[in-house]
Chains A and B, each alone.
Chain A
């Protein structure tokens, strides 16, 4: 029997799945690796630890699920978080840690570029919003602030490029992941000269561009031996986690959108044209040559509800956050749709799409004397989902969306899924035990192996069994409140800036005087 392995190098962990050739999962394992925040805006990961963790997890999965059952591994396909940057020297040795998508050190560079005509041009050419997450700005930051490392750098890689190079010796990046670097022209599929110039590099400092289906070479002998894999095991470069999740959610036709909400979230659509947006609110990433995944990301997904649960949840059983979150959901369900007019703006982490305002902050609005604790809970959940809806609304300015597909741990909580259906007033389909990223990688591999004739055919096979129908009555209630939510989100611009400035100032004052207050019991 043959099988396909998919490896997802995610934000906090590597997830490895094994599929049989019919797309059934025959095994899966994950391994966590840490993110280091040595300075407030920094977010880094150790490339060697990611590599070792990946190798360890892959080896365990092969030993426990694959070799014992006599499966033959036909291919291994990769996917990874977008926007990472790893500098390596002339020997291929990493110069420090990899910089992840969440790193904000280049915020000054980003702000300057975004408001300039050059920034607008670069956004139009590359499809990547001008934001500190973008490798374009991270490399520019290194040039300006870490000239020693910049000078020693032979190549700027993505984490996935490094992992693949360790396994096979090839320095590669797929068009899909490259289209999220801010350096690739998404129409000509070449590195964009203006972007390279802004970053201060030439194209030979970047890995070689290949399609997502490309083979990444042969596993090094030592890994063939330690993993028990033959030399002809195909290593497929693959795509980014975002594009794979979209494909794995069966979103391939215009008219559909996918909503992913884990800690953070995104709303995505697929089409054969770039979404041009004057206000630079969307990303446009390539999956294949003629297929663009467009959409908007939010910072404030399930992580905000988790924050809420930690602060206000009941911890009779002190060891269980999940339990406390379940309780909160059951309390929230006792409050009518719309939380009797209590609104929550969930911007605790600043916000990306659609308002792209790092200074945005959380707000409860509309509080009256009849509101109770339960209203706060429901309003928090609704606020997180209004924000996702606001991304969907601006996408609808460009595309007609007739149905939604949901994935991610927060969005797939039935209570949330129903609210999403009601807010959007569209039917929602959901796959339980979702592993969309792995499934997307499987579809790419299976297409490359000739099991499907095309990605179109492959995407058709994704089954989306659980359907939620919108309730017109609820939609009317949400629509009324949403227009206030939307106006508040922009109207408060000046006040967001004022409070964020004060918060930053006071935080740095406290740091410098080194007064530690005692730790409060919660």
Chain B
């Protein structure tokens, strides 16, 4: 294999591609101390194992990687080897600068030909997923090889093709992530995971698309599965959780109704009050008075 490292700002091959901060391939035949210390960067880093066995520390978890595996390191996450050095073996990698929107969401960037909504979904799945190692994704290795040969040969149309290949890489990884999490096959487990995420971010104004993205499913299938499993539409199920949590706060804490409303994800105390009354027949303050005779 060809060993090389291209870096943004140093390598003319990357001039046309400011979003690629680094691209490389390496066959490591000896162990050098301090060759892989833990670091975090602003880029998204993707490593593909060609040969050997690597024990890496990614975002505070220990992983074993074997040939065909891909490690995905998100911006700000720490990556390195606990022993500080790179083990013997071969690997290829790419570092890509990712665009952060004002809303805090991540998308690949302007260079990408992905549609806006697909970019958003991909960004969400990448950032909400906890599995940072993908097994047996040889496709990713092949794409990295194509990127390399496009950059070195610079044939006609290579500017477009490199970017298409990176889009392709994101799509491949995202699809694998959703498959690996197997959301529909074990839907009860998927639903539990969704429930946890919703509860952890209850004040967020969730949309159905976002909820579907959390578990890596298409919106239509997601709607259908949630309805048949829970008996509720995703939004109504979320209202169940909101009201249940609100009831606990109403019964326990001397918090203002506005605070409770916002904490549990209602737009306003008015919205909270209307929804609450519609379901229970009580306004939140009536409910509080009725259920806490001693206060």
Contact flag A518-B231 (CB < 8 Å), given A52-B243, A319-B184: no
Residue of B at shortest CB range from A516? B61
Q: Which residue of B lies closest to A16 (CB)?
A: B231
Most central of B179, B191, B240, B279 by chain A CB within 10 Å: B240
Assembly CA distance A46 to B240 (angstroms): 11
A13 at the interface (CB under 8 A from B): yes
Q: Which of B268-295 contact A (CB under 8 A)?
A: 277-282, 286-287, 290-294
Kindly identify which residue among B133, B192, B251 contacts A34, using a CB–CB cutoff of 8 Å. Answer: B192
Cβ-defined partner of B185 (8 Å) among A31, A92, A310: A310
Q: Given A48-B244, A226-B280, A319-B221 in contact, is the A516-B62 Cβ separation under 8 Å? A: yes
The contact of B279 among A59, A310, A515, by CB within 8 Å, is: A59
Cα distance A34–B203 when bound, in Å?
A: 20
B107 part of interface (Cβ distance < 8 Å): no
How many angstroms between the C-alpha atoms of A90 and B247 in the bound complex? 17
Q: Which residue of B248, B279, B281 contacts A48 across the interface (Cβ within 8 Å)?
A: B248
A319 to B182, CA, bound (A): 8
From residue 504 to 522 of chain A, which have CB atoms closer than 8 A to chain B?
514-522
Given the known inter-chain contacts A30-B231, A91-B294, A310-B185, please indicate yes or no for A318 contacting B179, CB distance below 8 A. Answer: yes
Q: Is B236 an interface residue (CB 8 A)?
A: yes
Residues of B within 8 A of A220 (CB): 281, 290
CB distance from A14 to the nearest CB of B (A): 8
Contacts of A214 in B (CB 8 A): none
Cα separation A52 to B182 with both chains bound (whole Å)? 30
Contacts A52-B279, A226-B279, A516-B61 given; does A46 touch B244 at CB 8 Å: yes
- Is A25 positioned at the interface, with any CB of B under 8 Å from its CB? no
A198 to B186, CA, bound (A): 41
Q: A318-B179, A518-B69 are in contact. Are A48 and B62 (CB under 8 A)?
A: no
Q: When chains A and B are docked, how far (Å) is the Cα of A384 from the Cα of B14?
A: 62
B186 touches A515 (CB 8 A): no
B10 within 8 Å of A (CB atoms): no
- Central interface residue in A226, A227, A514, A519, by most chain B CB within 10 Å: A519
| CB-contact partner of A56 in B133, B192, B279, under 8 A | B279
Count chain A CB atoms within 10 A of each CB in B191, B281, B290 and give the residue with the most: B281
A55 with B279: CB separation less than 8 A: yes
Q: Is the CB of B244 within 8 A of A49?
A: yes
**Could you mark each residue 226-247 of chain B with 1 if its beta carbon is under 8 Å from any beta carbon of chain A, else 0?**
0001111000110111011101
Cβ contact within 8 Å between B184 and A518 = no
Query: Which residues on B sit within 8 Å (CB–CB) of A55?
Result: 279-280
A46 to chain B, nearest CB (A): 6
Query: Which residues of chain A have C-beta atoms less than 8 A from B241's C-beta?
Result: 49
Sample of 23 A–B contacts (CB below 8 Å): A29-B231, A31-B230, A31-B232, A32-B231, A32-B232, A34-B191, A48-B248, A52-B243, A90-B294, A93-B252, A93-B291, A222-B280, A223-B280, A226-B281, A318-B179, A319-B184, A320-B184, A320-B185, A516-B63, A518-B133, A519-B180, A521-B135, A522-B182
Listed in ascending order, the chain A residues whose CB lies under 8 Å from chain B are 13, 29-34, 46, 48-49, 51-53, 55-57, 59, 90-93, 220-227, 310, 315, 318-321, 514-522
